[in-house]
Amino acid sequence: MIINNSKKCLCCGGCVSICPKDAIVLKNMKIHIDKDKCIGCKKCVLFCPVDAMEFVEEKQ
């Protein structure tokens, strides 16, 4: 799953536009990720200029 590091995030909104599944929403200067929509493509991780998106293995 993808997690957002709010300490690093600049709320530029770039990842919101790049996500092919519209899984990322910027609301009240915070990034929310809909993990049911996310397909784990990591485009947001690669795109983010400040490495605020992280991919972590989901615990079983």
β 53-55/30-33 pair status: unpaired
Instruction: Determine which residue in the list 48, 54, 56, 57 makes contact with ligand SF4, applying CB under 6 A.
Output: 48
Which residues, 8 to 47, sit near ligand SF4 by CB under 6 A? 9-15, 19, 21, 23-24, 31, 33, 38-44, 47
Are 10 and 50 in contact by the 8 Å Cβ rule? The answer is yes
List the one residue from 25, 53, 57, 59 that touches ligand SF4 (CB under 6 A). Answer: 53
First to last CA, the chain: 12
Question: Quick check: 2 and 53 in contact, CB under 8 A?
Answer: yes
Q: Which residue ranges make up the site for ligand SF4 (CB under 6 A)?
A: 2, 4, 9-15, 19, 21, 23-24, 31, 33, 38-44, 47-48, 50, 52-53
